Amino acid sequence: MNISTVIGARPQFVKAAVVSQALKNAGIIELIIHTGQHYDEKMSQIFWEELSIPEPHKNLEIGSYSHSLQTAKIMMALENEFAHTKPSAVMVYGDTNSTLAAALVASKMNIPLIHIEAGLRSFNREMPEEINRIVTDTLSSLLFCSSDEGVKQLRKEGITVNVFEVGDVMYDAFERFKGPAISSAELYKYGIAGNEKFALATIHRPSNTDNLNNLTQILGAFSELDYMVYWPVHPRNKINLERVVLPKNIRTLPPLSYIEMQSFLHKSAIVFTDSGGLQKEAYWARKPCVTLRNETEWSETTKNNWNILAGPVKENILKAVKKEIDMNSWKRLYGDGNSAERIAKKVKEFLVNG
Q: Spell out the domain ranges in the chain.
A: 2-168+335-353, 178-329
Domain 178-329 falls in which CATH fold?
A: Rossmann fold (3.40.50)
Residue with the larger pLDDT of the pair 40 and 3: 3
Mean pLDDT across 335-348: 97
For residues 309 and 137, what is the distance between their CA atoms, to the nearest angstrom? 26
**Predicted pLDDT of residue 338:** 97
**pLDDT-derived band at 31, boundaries 50, 70, 90:** very high
* Nearest-10 crossing angle of helices 169-176, 277-284: 50
3-state class (DSSP) for residue 273: strand
For residues 70 and 142, what is the distance between their CA atoms, to the nearest angstrom? 26
**pLDDT-derived band at 25, boundaries 50, 70, 90:** very high
Task: Reply yes or no on whether the pLDDT at 132 is more than 80.
Answer: yes
Active site residues: 204
For residues 246 and 5, what is the distance between their CA atoms, to the nearest angstrom? 40
For residues 183 and 177, what is the distance between their CA atoms, to the nearest angstrom? 10
* Percent of the residues in the chain that have a pLDDT greater than 90, as a whole number: 79
Mean pLDDT across 40-44: 60
To which H or E segment does residue 67 belong?
helix 67-85
Exposed/middle/buried for residue 286 (C-beta within 10 Å: 0-12, 13-18, 19+): exposed
**Predicted pLDDT of residue 41:** 57
Phi-psi region of 179 (alpha: psi -120 to 50; beta: other; left: phi over 0): alpha
What are the two backbone dihedrals, phi and then psi, of residue 236, each rounded to the nearest 5 degrees? -70, -15
Condensed to tens digits (0 to 9), the pLDDT of residues 280-289 reads 999 999 999 9
Can you say how many angstroms the Cα of residue 21 is from the centroid of all Cα atoms in its chain?
19
Mean pLDDT across 169-174: 96
**Predicted pLDDT of residue 127:** 87
- Backbone CA torsion sign across 202, 182, 288, 315: negative
Task: Reply yes or no on whether the pLDDT at 314 is more than 80.
Answer: yes
**Predicted pLDDT of residue 20:** 96
**Predicted pLDDT of residue 43:** 58
**C-beta separation of 141 from 89 below 8 A:** yes
* Nearest-10 crossing angle of helices 212-223, 314-321: 30
* Same topology between domain 2-168+335-353 and domain 178-329: yes
- Backbone CA torsion sign across 335, 96, 77, 57: negative
For residues 49 and 52, what is the distance between their CA atoms, to the nearest angstrom? 5
For residues 335 and 161, what is the distance between their CA atoms, to the nearest angstrom? 21
- Cut 0.85: pTM above it: yes
For residues 159 and 138, what is the distance between their CA atoms, to the nearest angstrom? 8
Within 8 A by CB and 6+ apart from 246, the residues are: 219, 252
Mean pLDDT across 308-324: 97
Condensed to tens digits (0 to 9), the pLDDT of residues 61-99 reads 887 778 899 999 999 999 999 999 999 999 999 999 999
**pLDDT-derived band at 194, boundaries 50, 70, 90:** confident
**Predicted pLDDT of residue 13:** 92
Mean pLDDT across 249-255: 93
**Predicted pLDDT of residue 155:** 98
Which residue, 256, 269, 258, is CA-closest to 229?
Answer: 269
Which CATH number does 2-168+335-353 carry? 3.40.50.2000
- Across 50-54, 151-155, 164-168, 328-332, least confident range: 50-54
Condensed to tens digits (0 to 9), the pLDDT of residues 207-226 reads 999 999 999 999 999 999 99
